[in-house]
Amino acid sequence: MLLAMTVAAVPAFGSELEELKAEMRRLQQRIEQLEERQKREAAQQPQPAAPTAAASPAAPAGGESVKAGTLPGSILIPGTATSLRPYVSVRIDATYDTAGRNNDTRNNDWATAVFAQPLRINSANRQRDDQFYGTARASRLGLDSSTPTPLGTLETKVEADFNAPNDYMGELASNGVMFRLRHAYGKLGNLLVGQTWSNYIDLRSYPETVDFNPPGNTTLLRQTQLRYTIPVGPTTLSLAVENPESLTSTPPVQTLSNSGRNDFDRIPDVTANWSWHGERAHLSLHAATMEYHNDFRTKRGYALGLSGSAALGTGTLVAGVQGGEGVGRYMFNSIMQGAADTGRDLLLWRAAGFHLGYTQPWTATLRSNVILSRTVFGANASADAYQRSAWAGKVDEFVPNRRVDQAFVNLFWSVTKNIETGIEYAWGERETFAGERGRQQRINAMIQYSLP
């Protein structure tokens, strides 16, 4: 039976096999026809030009190629006309004091502040010789941008570091430090609005120190402002209104809510800066006026300054002199000696200061600086007596000064394009109207990594 069924199925199987072979031949013919059609169509298409060596690289899938922006080290944001430059500076500072120091390193006093150096005769901090402090809190993050607009180029800058006061997460725990805004502004043509260095400042005349702070006769103000700059040939005139900060009393009094002499701000500070820029020198004449104001009294102070730089020999000379009445925070050494309300009168301190610095390049990667500075205060017996009594037994370091002297000698080494180190000896001495003295002797060291 099986044999009979097999013999009967052979003719049917043979017929299906022949049909399958015929179908395969028809499919093969169709494929050949399609291939021939593709060849004819390709021959009719224009051929693309061969790529040249200057051709741009192919764009990544799903986006545009990354292009260089107009700012050095910047990129053009795809799909926009904005150039963006991020930058990072990792900075490690170390200080070693052989003659005591202010112990408030949780704030900004880790850097030089000779105006508050412990006095030799009545400060426990004077007894604490040989102190070391290391920190990375001066490290920075920033973004620069540039965008063309119908009104001109819009420039913006945002920069922050970690040098803010920190009571809770310092060395005792994890060496945590707090984020601090340094710059945040926009500049369109000649108009600047935002927070940056005061218009009163002439940074180009500042000497170069390893210490995070320059000499105390200079100004260290970054504040919110509206500034307009008028260029006239090689000169510029900048006018600005800036955020005020009145300090007519000392903090121990200010902390009392019922003191009746609380400070407050009424009108902005006004600043002006005229600058001349030459090929080998520059000059700046700057002025500021500010109001001291509290619940009962008000007085207007002022500051005037002249500064500049010049190529001298193989190096560069920088110098500056400034002073005024109620200069206050417009000179670092006088930040606590601007004005004093004695209860009968609002008294403004008179102050003046100068600095002189010379930068000598030894090689393409080595340079050093020698810097001298002095700040002096006019005698004011009533203000001195009031502030001395306010601080006595609280923070003796803030007793008013008659004079503050400073000197720096340093050496910088540019290890590579992105790595720089520096070491410095810093000396300083303050003298009060009572003849008390406090002396600083410090070694500063720094290493900084910068990207890009």
Average pLDDT, the chain: 86
Paired with 76 in beta bridges are 67, 83
> What pLDDT is attached to residue 5?
43
Residue 213 lies in a domain: yes
Count of beta carbons in the 10 Å neighbourhood of residue 192? 20
Do the domain assignments include residue 9?
Answer: no
d(CA 429, CA 99): 11
Q: Within a domain: residue 32?
A: no
Structural domain boundaries, residue 433 = 68-451
80 inside domain = yes
Per-residue pLDDT of 360-414, as tens digits, reads: 999 999 999 999 999 999 999 999 999 998 887 777 788 999 999 999 999 999 9
Return the pLDDT at 58.
Answer: 45
Count of structural domains, the chain: 1
List the structure tokens of 272: 């002006």
Q: How far apart are CA 392 and CA 380, in angstroms?
A: 18
Instruction: Assess if residue 197 is contained within a domain.
Output: yes
- 353: pLDDT confidence band, cut at 50, 70 and 90? very high
Residue 4 confidence (pLDDT) above 60: no
Decide which of 358 and 163 is more confident: 358
Q: Is residue 204 part of a domain?
A: yes
Q: What angle do CA 181, 187, 189 make, to 5 degrees?
A: 170
Return the pLDDT at 167. 67
- Residue 449 CA: distances (Å) to CA of 152, 397, 421, 452: 34, 35, 9, 9
Give the pLDDT of residue 6: 43
Tell me if 112 is assigned to some domain: yes
Q: pLDDT for 201-255, tens place per residue?
A: 999 999 999 999 999 999 999 999 999 999 999 999 999 999 999 888 766 655 5
Q: Is residue 201 assigned to a domain?
A: yes
Find the mean pLDDT for residues 117-139: 81
The CATH number covering residue 207 comes to 2.40.160.10
